[in-house]
Amino acid sequence: MSGTERVPFRLIVMECCGTMICWVNPRLPTYCPECGTRIYPEVRGWVTEQDDSAILKVDLERKKR
């Protein structure tokens, strides 16, 4: 099974802990997924790359047993 979907891609450098994350959720995170620090609304200024029409390709192969 495979498919493609347009997603809002964002590369975010978390200023709270220095972690770089690729984010494809239309909503920005409220808390850092790495250290748990509350980061919203400051995270809006931490987005370093943005593409609102990125394509996510999913290719799943189901193994038969």
Distance of CA 33 to the CA centre of its chain: 10
Residue 6 within a domain = yes
Residue 64 within a domain = no
Q: Which residues contact 5 (CB under 8 A, 6 or more apart)?
A: 55, 56, 58
Residue 60 within a domain = no
Residue 62 within a domain = no
Q: What is the pLDDT of residues 6-61, one digit of tens each?
A: 999 999 999 999 999 999 999 999 999 999 999 999 999 999 999 999 999 888 77
Residue 41 within a domain = yes
pTM, two decimals, is 0.77
What is the count of structural domains for the chain? Answer: 1
Spatial CA neighbour of 26 closest among 56, 1, 4, 3: 56
Residue 65 within a domain = no
Residue 17: domain span: 2-52
Residue 59 within a domain = no
Residue 47 within a domain = yes
